[in-house]
Amino acid sequence: MIVLGLSGALKHDPSAALLVDGETVAAAEEERFIRDKHAKNKLPLHSARFCLEYAGVDPADVDYVAFPYAPINLRGPARWHYAKRYWYAPDRSLDALFNGNRRFRAHRRSIIGLGKELGINWSRTQFVPVEHHLSHASSAYHLSGFTQKCAILGVDGKGEYATTFLGYGEGGRIHKIKEFYDPDSLGGVYGAVTEYLGFEMLDGEYKVMGMAPYGDASKYDLSPLIAAKGDGFKVNTALVNAVGLRRYKDAGQKFFFTPKLVDWLGPRRLDDAADDPYIHYAASMQALFEKWVMTLIDHYLADILAETGKLAFAGGGALNVKLNQRLLARPDVDELFVQPASGDSGTALGAATQVAMSHGDRVSPMRHVYLGPSYTNEQCLTALQAHTGECQWQKMTDPAGQTADLLAAGHPVAWFQGRMEFGPRALGGRSILGCPNAPGIADRINEQIKFRERWRPFCLSILDQVAAEILQSEHPAPYMTITFNVAESWRSRIPEVVHVDGTVRAQVVERDTNPRYYALLEAMQVRTGNGVVLNTSLNRRGEAMVCSPQDALNMFFGSDLQYLVLEDWLVTKC
Ligand SMILES: [Fe+2]
C-alpha cells in the first residue's frame, strides 16, 4: 500500500511523507526546497515530488493521500465550544456554527489541485482526511515502537478546533479520552507570550524556553492567564489568545495578546537582549506551561501511566525540551517517545501512518530522521565548480579523522552528509559542528555564523558509549527532544554547551543510524578524550535548514565559516 501524507492546512510548515507497505521511505519539509522558513501559505509541491521520485513511485500508483485536517461535525462539542467562547467576535462565532468546515473544503480543493499537478490519478487514489490532533497522536504512537498500551499526549496551538489531546494507544488503535478546544490552548498561550516577548509565534517559542532559565519564575505570577475550570482549564482571553478587536496592534501588526496584557506587564520586548523583567516573564510562562501539562496528565493519563509507564507525545508543544525533561522525571513515566517532527510538518507523517494502519498495513517504528534528499560527490563537485576562485576543495581519504582534526583545533565546521533530516533538528546530516571545550566557540558560532541571540544554548551530540555518564540517564535520546542534567564531572569538559541551568539538549548517536557521524564522534574521542561535538543546524538566523550542496555553499559564503565538509570534499575559503 502506498500512502502519501501532505500537510500544510494551517498555512505553515507544509511537508510530505511517503509510506510504502508501512515503511517510511521519505519525508521532507517544503521550506527546505523553496528556501523560505516555515513556507507560510505554500503547498507541499516540491517535498511531495521529492518523496515520490526518491521512492521511485509513479504518482498514479498512490493508493491514499492522507491529509491532517478533517471536517468537524456540528454534533460534537468543538464548534459549539468555539462559538461560545468567541461570543465577543460574532463573525467568528457564527462562522463556526453555520460554516465551520469552510477551511476544510478550501484545503481539500487545494490538495486535489496539487495532486493533479503531481500526477495523482484521483479516479484511483482516495483522499482521506485525518483530524489534526489524531495525526499528531499517530505520529507519536504508531512510530514509537511501543507494543504495549501507552498514554498519548498532543499539545499545540490549534488544529481544526482542538488544541490539546489526551488519549491512549492499544493494539494499533488510538483512543481519545479528552480534547480541549480553541481558545483554550496551552500552546496558544505560550505562543501569545512568545509574541509579547518579541519573537514570532510558531518560531520563537524555543527562544522563550531558552531564555527562561535566566529568569526567576517566582518574581512574576502569570497564572491569571489560565484558570482552572472543572477537570480542565480556561484561558483568559481578555489577556491572551484573543481575536478581532481584542488584539493588540502595533505598526500595522496584530498580535494574539491584548492591550490589557501590556497594561499589566509593560511594553512588549523589542530588542535582542535577555534582561529584566522579560527573562522572568519567560521563566513564569515556562513554569505555567509545565504546570498545566502536568496537571492534565495527572487527571487524564495517570491511570494509564501507572499501568504501562509509557508516554508518546507530539504537537508543537512537544518541541519544548524542558517540559519533556519534566515528563521523563515523573515517577510514572519509564519511557517517553517524543516524535522528532512534532510540529505541524510531522502531521504529514502522522496522517499517513494513521491511514496506513487503519487500512491494514503495519507501520514500522521510526528508526531515524534521515528521510530527505541526499547528493553524490559528483553532484557536490558540480556545485563547487560554480564557485571556482572563491574556495579550494580536496577529496578526503578520512573524512571523520580530518574533520575531527579541524574541530579539535578549535574551528567550527559545516557538516553536510547523507540524507537531510526530517523535523526541525539537525542531527548530523546538515549541521554546524564545534568542539564543546574550545573556549568561545559558542559565541563565535552565534556572532559570526548563525547571527543569532547570544544567550541561546547549543546542543550536544554524544557517542552512545559515554552518553549515560554525561546525561546520568540510560533513557534513549536519539533526536534532541529532551534536556538532561549534565553530570558535575562533565560540566567543565563541555562548558560551551551546558546551559545556565546545568542542562544540555542531547542527541545520543548510534553507529547503525548514522555511521559517518558516529565515526566522527569516535575520532573526537581519540583526539580530545571526549566523544562529543557541539551541533547546531546548518543555516543562518531566519533561514530554512540547508537542503542541497548549492544551499550549503550559499550559506558558507554568506557566513564567516572557513571549513565545509561536503560529503567527501573538504572545502576551504580562498
Ligand atoms: Fe499542530
**268: DSSP letter:** P
Dihedral class, residue 542 (left if φ above 0, else alpha if ψ from -120 to 50, else beta): left
The rounded Å distance from CA 550 to ligand 1 centre is: 31
The rounded Å distance from CA 29 to ligand 1 centre is: 14
Q: Give the catalytic positions in this structure.
A: 12
The rounded Å distance from CA 12 to ligand 1 centre is: 10
Confidence of residue 457 (pLDDT cuts 50, 70, 90): confident
The rounded distance, in Å, linking the Cα atoms of 282 and 305 is: 30
List, as ranges, residues with CB under 5 A of the ion ligand 1. 156, 344
pLDDT digits (tens, 9 = 90+) for 131-167: 999 999 999 999 999 999 999 999 999 999 999 999 9
Mean pLDDT of 91-97: 96
The rounded Å distance from CA 62 to ligand 1 centre is: 25
Residue 380 has pLDDT above 80, yes or no: yes
Q: For 290, how many CA atoms within 13 A lie in the half-sphere containing its CB?
A: 20
pLDDT digits (tens, 9 = 90+) for 474-483: 999 999 999 9
The rounded distance, in Å, linking the Cα atoms of 430 and 548 is: 10
Q: For residue 472, give the C-alpha cell.
A: 546520568
Mean pLDDT of 520-544: 96
- Best-predicted range by mean pLDDT (270-284, 439-453, 516-530): 516-530
Confidence of residue 49 (pLDDT cuts 50, 70, 90): very high
Element (H, E) at 504: strand 503-509
The rounded Å distance from CA 473 to ligand 1 centre is: 30
Give the alpha-carbon dihedral of 243, 75, 296, 321, to 10 degrees: -60
Q: Which of 472, 445, 447 is nearest to 459 (CA)?
A: 445
Residue 564 has pLDDT above 90, yes or no: yes
pLDDT in the model for residue 10? 79
SS3 235: strand
The rounded Å distance from CA 195 to ligand 1 centre is: 18
The rounded Å distance from CA 98 to ligand 1 centre is: 24
| Whether the Cβ atoms of residue 212 and residue 286 lie closer than 8 Å to each other | yes
The rounded distance, in Å, linking the Cα atoms of 348 and 109 is: 17
The rounded Å distance from CA 101 to ligand 1 centre is: 17
| Whether the Cβ atoms of residue 153 and residue 330 lie closer than 8 Å to each other | no
The rounded Å distance from CA 69 to ligand 1 centre is: 10
Element (H, E) at 17: strand 15-20
* Residues near 509 by beta carbon (within 8 Å), at least 6 away in sequence: 428, 461, 462, 463, 464, 478, 517, 518, 521
pLDDT in the model for residue 448? 82
The rounded distance, in Å, linking the Cα atoms of 158 and 421 is: 25
Q: Which of 362-376, 437-451, 521-535 has the lowest mean pLDDT?
A: 437-451
% of the chain residues with pLDDT over 90 = 93
Q: For residue 204, give the C-alpha cell.
A: 520563537
| Whether the Cβ atoms of residue 526 and residue 495 lie closer than 8 Å to each other | no
The rounded distance, in Å, linking the Cα atoms of 290 and 326 is: 8
The rounded Å distance from CA 65 to ligand 1 centre is: 19
Q: For residue 40, give the C-alpha cell.
A: 507560510
pLDDT digits (tens, 9 = 90+) for 57-76: 999 999 999 999 999 999 99
Checking DSSP bridges between strand 310-314 and strand 335-338, what pairing results, if any? parallel
Residue 455 has pLDDT above 80, yes or no: no
Q: For residue 520, give the C-alpha cell.
A: 566522527
